Amino acid sequence: MKIRAAVLVLLVGLLCASCWAQGFKAQPAPTNVPGADFPRLNSDMSATFRVQAERAQKVQLLLGLTPYDMVKGPDGVWEVTTKPLSPGFYYYEISVDGFNSNDPGSRVFFAAKKEVSGLEVPGAESDFFAIKDVPHGTVRTMWYPSKTTGETRRIFVYTPPGYDQTTSRYPVLYLQHGFGEDEAGWSDQGHENFILDNLIAAGKAKPMIIVNENGLPGRDFQSPSPPKPGTNERRDFVRDVARYFMNDPYTSFDKIVSRDLIPFIDANLRTIPDREHRAFAGLSMGGAQTFRIGFNHLDQFAYLGAFSPAIDISDISKDYNGMLANAENINKELRLLWLGIGTEDFLFGPVKESHETLQKAGIKHVWVESSGAHVWTVWRKYLADFAPGLFQ
């Protein structure tokens, strides 16, 4: 699987380079608001940003690890061009004299518990989530009552092409976002609907329903604090994050899914309401929720996917529901356990060790060690890799 991923990355890289070389013209990014000329993608795959700030002293583009200083022109317009960017999706901010906010030229996406500018850099490898001339499914925004929280909660539900034209029943994938994002993430940032439309049209995935809930119930959850500058706490911080989402504050989401959400979906959509036709997957925090909810409810799910999950299963006392001592039963119950992470991901260490722990315990799983960091560019690909293995 590791080799397969590496070959894929190489092929995509070659295709992409050839596509961009063939007369690419500078153009507004696809994530721009309608009519905005900037941000602009250049032929060398760099991006040029412009913002108006007549009286500002210092303006920076916060994209990637190192801020870019923007330069003021005579008309109060600040500009900067980035280094060449790999195709993919980037969150970014503009910082004006210490005020960090959005670029008015771009659409925003919910991330880091706020609305954050997004930049899509397209390439040949964007093809799998492009809007093509194929039948399109629907993304439904629905509201349902949760006994666990006492709220009316909002969910997003993808129904596949043909759902409204037939009386067929469908399997369901419960698919979760990461920390600081919300139930809109998998459609807005992830394009789950176009990924599935294209896979289904190509006969590569079974038509399925996808449900996205908000994995951060309650408003006051905080992630672990990053290390103080100047100290050498990096390793501990990574372990903190990897373990944090395994802890008890996250039990309420388990109850929401298993007691409130699944019964609502099965009562209100044409599902096949059994474990053999139900999957759970998620990214980062949602990957930890996959382990917690999946292994606590093997009666409800037969397929699990953890994309760059915030997990640390290197210690037998930290496993889920005693899973490490029950390999035989788990291997009998689960049709697929999928675990993947990029080698540049800050969580790579604990996740790779978790994979090795699972291996030692004899728990069968698909292990994908891909290129890439802790970003949507990777998670979209993981969905396209994971979905064809479901409900077969």
Could you list the residues that contact a second copy (CB under 8 A)? 33-36, 51-59, 76, 94, 96-105, 107-108, 110, 113-115, 131, 133, 136, 138-145, 152, 164-165, 182, 187, 216, 219-221, 268-269
HEC letters along the chain: CHHHHHHHHHHHHHHHHHHHHCCCCCEECCCECCCCCCCEECCCCCEEEEEECCCCCCEEEECCCCCEECEECCCCEEEEECCCCCCEEEEEEEEECCEEECCCCECEEEECCEEEEEEEECCHHHHHHCCCCCCCCEEEEEEEECCCCCCEEEEEEEECCCCCCCCCCECEEEEECCCCCCCCHHHHCCCHHHHHHHHHHCCCCCCCEEEECCCCCCCCCCCCCCCCCCCCCHHHHHHHHHHHCCCHHHHHHHHHHHHHHHHHHHHHCCECCCHHHEEEEEECHHHHHHHHHHHHCCCCCCEEEEECCCCCCCCHHHCCCCHHHCHHHHHHHCCEEEEEEECCCCCHHHHHHHHHHHHHHCCCCEEEEECCCCCHHHHHHHHHHHHHHCCC
The least CB distance from residue 272 to a second copy, in Å, is: 16
The least CB distance from residue 106 to a second copy, in Å, is: 8
The least CB distance from residue 174 to a second copy, in Å, is: 18
